[in-house]
Amino acid sequence: MRVLVTGGAGFIGSNLVRRLVAAGDHVRVLDDLSTGNLGNLEELDGSFTFIRGDIRNAPAVRQAVDGVDVVYHLAALPSVARSVADPIRSNAVNVEGTLNVLVAARAVQVRRVVYASSSSVYGNTLTLPKHEEMPSSPLSPYAAAKLAGESYCRAFASVYGLSTVSLRLFNVFGPRQDPGSEYAAVVPRFIARMLAGESPVIFGDGGQSRDFTFVANAVEACLLAGSAGQDVSGEFMNIACGDRISLVGLVGMLNGILRTDLPPALTTPRPGDVRHSQASIEKAHRILGYEPVVDIRQGLVRTVEWFRMGRQPIESGMHGAIAEPVNRSR
Give pLDDT tens digits for 89-111: 999 999 999 999 999 999 999 99
- State yes or no: pLDDT of 319 exceeds 80: no
- Domain assignment of residue 11, yes or no: yes
Average pLDDT over residues 119-126: 92
**In the beta sheet, which residues pair with residue 239?**
169
Which of 43, 56, 69 has the alpha carbon at shortest distance from 7?
56
Pairing of strands 172-173, 201-203: unpaired
Percent pLDDT > 90 in the chain is 87
- Domain assignment of residue 161, yes or no: yes
Using CA atoms, how far residue 7 sits from 29, 50, 77, 283, in Å, is 7, 11, 10, 26
Indicate the burial class of 137 (C-beta count within 10 angstroms; 0-12, 13-18, 19 or more).
middle
Q: Which helix (H) or strand (E) holds 328?
A: strand 327-329
Per-residue pLDDT of 219-237, as tens digits, reads 999 999 999 999 999 999 9
- State yes or no: pLDDT of 246 exceeds 90: yes
Q: Where are the beta strands (DSSP E) in 102-247?
A: 112-118, 164-169, 172-173, 201-203, 209-210, 213-214, 235-239, 245-246
- Domain assignment of residue 158, yes or no: yes
- Domain assignment of residue 122, yes or no: yes
Per-residue pLDDT band at 3 (split at 50, 70, 90): very high
- Domain assignment of residue 63, yes or no: yes
Q: How far is CA 151 from the centre of its chain?
A: 18
Domain harbouring 20, CATH code: 3.40.50.720
Which of 198, 173, 202, 172 has the alpha carbon at shortest distance from 303?
173
One DSSP character per residue, 2-33 reads EEEEETTTSHHHHHHHHHHHHTT-EEEEEE-S
* Domain residue limits at 61: 2-172+213-242+279-292+314-329
81-107: burial string, b at 16+ Cβ within 10 Å, e else: bbbbeeeebbbbbbbebbbbbbbbbbe
| Helices 11-22 and 215-227, axial angle in degrees (round to 10) | 60
Cβ contact 164:230 at 8 Å: no
pTM: 0.91
Average pLDDT over residues 207-218: 97
Quote the number of domains for the chain. 1
- Domain assignment of residue 46, yes or no: yes
Indicate the burial class of 196 (C-beta count within 10 angstroms; 0-12, 13-18, 19 or more).
exposed
pLDDT at 311: 61
| Selected catalytic residue, list 72, 122, 142, 290 | 142
- State yes or no: pLDDT of 13 exceeds 50: yes
Residue 180 CB: number of other CB atoms within 10 A?
A: 11
- State yes or no: pLDDT of 253 exceeds 60: yes
- Domain assignment of residue 104, yes or no: yes
Using CA atoms, how far residue 37 sits from 11, 52, 65, 75, 103, in Å, is 9, 11, 20, 12, 26
Cβ contact 247:212 at 8 Å: no
Which of 17, 20, 21, 43 has the alpha carbon at shortest distance from 31?
17
Per-residue pLDDT band at 204 (split at 50, 70, 90): very high
Half-sphere exposure of 15 toward its Cβ, with a 13 Å CA cutoff? Answer: 21
**What SS3 class is residue 301?**
helix
Does the annotation mark 142 as catalytic?
yes
Gap between the Cα atoms of 310 and 320, Å rounded? 26
